[in-house]
Amino acid sequence: MDSWERIGIIDIGSNSIRLAIYEINSAGAYRIIDESKEGARLSERVDGNGRISDNDLDYIAETLQRFKLLCAVQGAGRIRAVATAALRNAAHSAAVTAALRERTGLAIDVLPGEEEGRLGFLGMINTIDISDGLLVDIGGGSTEVTLFRNRRLVKSVSFPFGAVNTMKRFGSNGEIEDEGAKAIRAMVDGAVASEPWIAETPGLPLVGLGGTVRSLCKIDQKRKKYSLPLTHNYTMSAEDMDATMQLLRETPYEKRKKIEGLSKDRADIIVPGAVILHTLFRRTSASHYVISGAGLRDGLFFEQLRPEEPQFTDVLEHSVHNLLALHPVVSFKHVSQVNRLALKLFADLQHYHGLGGRAAKYLHVASLLYRVGISIHYYNYYKHTFYLLAHSRVDGLSHREIIICAMIASFKSEKRSRPFFAEHRDLLSEADFSLVVRLGSLLQLAAALDRSETQPVASVSARVFGTEMFLTVNCASNWVIERKQVMSLARDFGKMWGFTLRLFESG
Q: What's residue 507's pLDDT?
A: 63
Task: Give the whole-angstrom CA distance, residue 94 versus residue 273.
Answer: 28
Per-residue pLDDT of the chain (507 residues; tens, 9 = 90+): 457 899 999 999 988 999 999 999 999 999 999 999 998 888 777 777 778 888 889 999 999 999 999 999 999 999 999 999 889 988 888 999 999 999 999 999 999 999 999 999 999 999 999 999 999 999 999 999 999 999 999 999 999 999 999 999 999 989 999 999 999 999 999 999 999 999 999 999 999 999 999 999 999 999 999 999 999 999 999 999 999 999 999 999 999 999 999 999 999 999 999 999 999 999 999 999 999 999 999 999 999 999 999 999 999 999 999 999 999 999 999 999 999 999 999 999 988 888 888 999 999 999 999 999 999 999 999 999 999 999 988 999 999 999 999 999 999 999 999 999 999 999 999 999 999 999 999 999 999 999 999 999 999 999 999 999 999 999 989 999 999 999 999 999 999 999 999 999 986
Question: By the 8 A CB rule, do 482 and 450 touch?
Answer: yes
**What number of other Cβ atoms are within 10 A of residue 122's Cβ?**
23
Task: Give the whole-angstrom CA distance, residue 191 versus residue 88.
Answer: 19
Q: What's residue 1's pLDDT?
A: 40
Hey, what domains does the chain have and what are their CATH numbers?
Answer: 4-110 (3.30.420.40), 114-297 (3.30.420.150), 315-506 (1.10.3210.10)
Label residues 370-379 b or e (16+ Cβ within 10 Å = b).
bbbbbbbeee
Beta strands 206-209; 289-291: pairing state = parallel
Identify the helix (H) or strand (E) that includes residue 14.
none
Label residues 192-214 b or e (16+ Cβ within 10 Å = b).
beeeeebbebeebbbbbbbbbbb
Task: Give the whole-angstrom CA distance, residue 142 versus residue 160.
Answer: 5
Q: Is the pTM of this model over 0.75?
A: yes
Q: What's residue 261's pLDDT?
A: 95
The backbone torsions φ and ψ at residue 36, rounded to the nearest 5 degrees and listed phi first, read -150, 150
Q: What's residue 305's pLDDT?
A: 94
Task: List all residues 6 or more positions away from 344 whose beta carbon is below 8 Å from its beta carbon.
Answer: 459, 460, 461
The residue among 153, 269, 263, 140 whose CA lies nearest residue 209 is: 140
